[in-house]
Structure 1
């Protein structure tokens, strides 16, 4: 059964099982109530009320073996009126069960989506049939626990989906920021290239990169920024100050300020941030 070990904030399923067993012990008035969680098809007895020994604590019950294993395998309740002489079950666990002095036993599986997730037992130290009232109480306890586990499973499922979406979103954000850094770096390099053809090819590459990241197939022809205006705006988009942009582009801060003002005017923007946002929407920046 799932636990907080998955990295999710899920309470212990063992605590929920223990709570139901205590309630069942109170209403059934039987001397022994116990149970355990099913993990990878194997039942492990872990919770006990009214036992006198530790003979069954930690007992691993294989699927189809014993009373509990049969409940796990079939997904249905199983009972014996006298464990010692019962012919309907295997007797792999006679030592610990009889060591506790148990005779009449009922085992009810807790089934979630067709899978046994736990088993609840009640037992008497005298032989004889355990009545329908107690069996009904057990079924109710099993249904309550199954509902609780199903709710926890659904919460975990939704949390995992949320975490997965956030992981993808974070990864996309990191890649986008890296591409924006690359775009600005290429714009800066293009200014230092003396060969006009090479400089043009670099600028074409940055334009394709901007369209790829922005998702805009083609920039709006109504707005056309000069190469140096785009150079400046690409660095401003990375959060650079005028001085930092100037250092990266090997120009004076006043030159950066002039190109930025011109780009803002063409974009109809009233701030640096607004200019960047509009340029991205137009596919001019990644």
Structure 2
């Protein structure tokens, strides 16, 4: 795998990390011998930085910068849809700006799938063979699905980043209600992603947000609630009914009741309000 370049903007580095997961998934699901890709950096002219590689035998592609519209990946970026060729050197459907590095690696049949989030190309996943063969529909379909899954995770991460950006703790009641709403949103977003690393990051962000509401550091052991118990309590703290909480979290109302009872027991609380107050006092909720 390539090495993350700290000189790139933070968002590009974050996207590169997501692409890294996508490359590994692409290699696993398609069985293609060579897979690679990278994130797109913004600016006047978008450019793709190839940083993630599996199965390559040379360094010709590592660090390659692909410009919008140029080559197979640049075409995928410009069209915002997958493109592929079965014999790269003789293909008349693409420009040949990158023939030299592609030739050094010996790639002939190549697929490029863009990662598109909110109509913006954020990266490109490539898969390749060293023979001039047509790629099977199953392989192309798996590659496209891998990109779609990655797009969903990036979209959720974007929403989480935006939610955190809106949450600047303030002493006014209105601002604290916004912080609490953001906290609940982060908890709910975490359950929408399949990527374990992203889900853990969202949960950790929600815990940091909750701890920020303490007037002084909490040194006492915090009650241990399961992620779902804390998800439920986050919406209960906003004044949501069981039915409303179930709607937010995609669960049945009876399931919400069960999680809430369990959380109240662990917090040694007899009422919903008492449970919320205890959770806030111990830094589990903002």
Query: Shorter-normalised TM-score: what interval?
Result: 0.5 to 0.7
* Equivalences for residues 81-120 of structure 1 within 5 A: 81-120=86-125
* Equivalences for residues 16-35 of structure 1 within 5 A: 16-35=18-37
**Given the superposition, is the C-alpha separation of residues 6 and 52 from structure 1 closer, same or farther in structure 2, using an over 3 Å criterion?**
closer
**Given the superposition, is the C-alpha separation of residues 6 and 64 from structure 1 closer, same or farther in structure 2, using an over 3 Å criterion?**
closer
Q: Which runs of 5+ in 1 are unaligned?
A: 170-286
Partner Cα separation in structure 2 for residue 112 and residue 16 of structure 1 = 13
Partner Cα separation in structure 1 for residue 13 and residue 125 of structure 2 = 19
**What is residue 216 of structure 1 aligned with on the other side?**
none
Greater helix share, 1 or 2? Answer: 1
**What is residue 159 of structure 1 aligned with on the other side?**
164
* Equivalences for residues 182-221 of structure 1 within 5 A: none
Name the TM-score, length of structure 2 as normaliser: 0.54
Name the TM-score, length of structure 1 as normaliser: 0.54
Partner Cα separation in structure 2 for residue 112 and residue 15 of structure 1 = 16
**Given the superposition, is the C-alpha separation of residues 160 and 24 from structure 1 closer, same or farther in structure 2, using an over 3 Å criterion?**
same
Q: Which runs of 5+ in 2 are unaligned?
A: 1-5, 173-286
1:63 to 59, 68, 92: 68
**What is residue 267 of structure 2 aligned with on the other side?**
none
**What is residue 176 of structure 1 aligned with on the other side?**
none
- The answer to whether residue 139 in structure 2 is matched with residue 143 in structure 1 is no
Q: Greater CA radius of gyration, 1 or 2?
A: 1
**What is residue 130 of structure 1 aligned with on the other side?**
135
Partner Cα separation in structure 1 for residue 64 and residue 10 of structure 2 = 28
Tell me, what secondary structure is at the counterpart of 2:167? helix
Partner Cα separation in structure 2 for residue 6 and residue 142 of structure 1 = 22
- Measured after TM superposition, the shift of residue 6 of structure 1 is 8.2
**Given the superposition, is the C-alpha separation of residues 36 and 7 from structure 1 closer, same or farther in structure 2, using an over 3 Å criterion?**
closer
Partner Cα separation in structure 2 for residue 159 and residue 19 of structure 1 = 24
- Measured after TM superposition, the shift of residue 106 of structure 1 is 0.5
2:84 to 55, 79, 87: 79
**Given the superposition, is the C-alpha separation of residues 54 and 148 from structure 1 closer, same or farther in structure 2, using an over 3 Å criterion?**
same
Q: Deviations over 1:95-149 (max 9, x none)?
A: 1011100000000000001111010010000002111100110111001110111
Partner Cα separation in structure 2 for residue 63 and residue 7 of structure 1 = 21
CA RMSD of aligned residues (A): 2.6
- Measured after TM superposition, the shift of residue 15 of structure 1 is 2.5
Tell me, what secondary structure is at the counterpart of 1:45? strand
Partner Cα separation in structure 1 for residue 13 and residue 35 of structure 2 = 22
- Measured after TM superposition, the shift of residue 20 of structure 1 is 1.8
Whether the 8 Å contact between 2:109 and 2:134 is mirrored in structure 1 is yes
Q: Deviations over 1:25-76 (max 9, x none)?
A: 1221111011110111211111001000110111110100000001111101
